Structure 1
Amino acid sequence: MNMNESTIEQFTAFAGQTRIASGDLATVAQGAKESLETAPQNSLLIFDNTNSKQVEIDLRGSVEEVLSRLPQPEKAAPTEPAEAPKAGRPKLGVTAREVTLLPRHWDWLGSQPGGASVTLRKLVEEARRNSQAADQSRQAQEAIDRFMMVMAGNFPGFEEASRALYRNDKGLFEKIIAEWPQYIAAHLRMLSEGIEWKKDENK
């Protein structure tokens, strides 16, 4: 599952070990501000759930002032009228770069239908498709590792959970985090939806 899919809220705020808000940045900022006013002694942290990097928000002033300082989403560029098609080969948006290959590679590319350029583009697209799941799994692991370092670094079993994460051992990972505070464990399970776990050979 893609880490960017809508099943995962974009941001999450924690007050200590308690999750206080999840959603878009405005929703989370408002939740963080209200929590700060109710319990100013709590440590507030806001995470971008796509990578678990911390997000800094200026919580001074009223809720309205806090929201007014948030970055505004980029507006879509105005749509330009479509140009009439021109004679000749269509523009593909390709970029010319130098590629160094052995002679036998060039010979093979030249013998393929469409020639070297078409074949190279097909090979690159196929490689991208084949590696997409692995790339998403790696990004999810990195996000979990970053979150655990901040929120669970002192918890019992932290190092073992980290090793289980990178061994793709779902059973052991979930067994360890089940003993951690509920909001921390729930957040880690949510982040782990993007991982391709090792299949259980006992099933």
Structure 2
Amino acid sequence: MFTVLPPSIGRFFTRFIAPLVLGAACAASAHAQQKVDPKAAPDAFVQTVANNALQAIQNEPAASRTDLNRLNQLVDQYVLPYVDLQKTTRLAAARHWRMATPEQQARLVEAFKGTLIRTYSGALAKADEVSNITIQPYRGEADAKDAHVRSSLSQRNAPSVNVDYRLENTPEGWKIYDLNVEGIWLIQNYRNQFNQTISQQGIDGLIDTLNQRNQ
């Protein structure tokens, strides 16, 4: 059975998207939407995506409070285009991905997309908890195929949270595919749960479970 995240981990992964969708909280509110350049430096790329997502939700404050469907639409528009859903799903499924048919792989990606949208939406609904985000300068090679961006999230009345991003340099530019919140990697966390469910119910069972939780 697909398990629910333990409360401590669940709180992290409700907030782990906050740096992506709420980043630069103090500065973003003063700026209009910016053009996202996936071929910019990784830290600048993450910063722009964060600013735009925050600006979008600030323009529609009711979405974060009462309109879940609209909130999900904002996530789909401003965040998910810059996430490599297939790679995230493939790495989470690990060895089981190779055993799935192309049709099952496509359905699993779509089902996991719903899970990630719910997680992103949970972060957007907590916009008032974020006071500041510091994205560390990228220290890697300009032509690297894989990048690691570090940040620190400041929250009101709570300790700071360290968040790391893993990005891949695709032909279209940078794509985020994994995040780490206080030592917990998103993919590793879901890999354990995916493996348990697939072992008991198969690939189709995992897809059905994800879809049921997304309703």
If the length of structure 1 is used for normalisation, what is the TM-score? 0.24
Q: Which has the higher contact order (CA 8 A, sep 6+)?
A: 2
Q: Which has the higher strand share?
A: 2
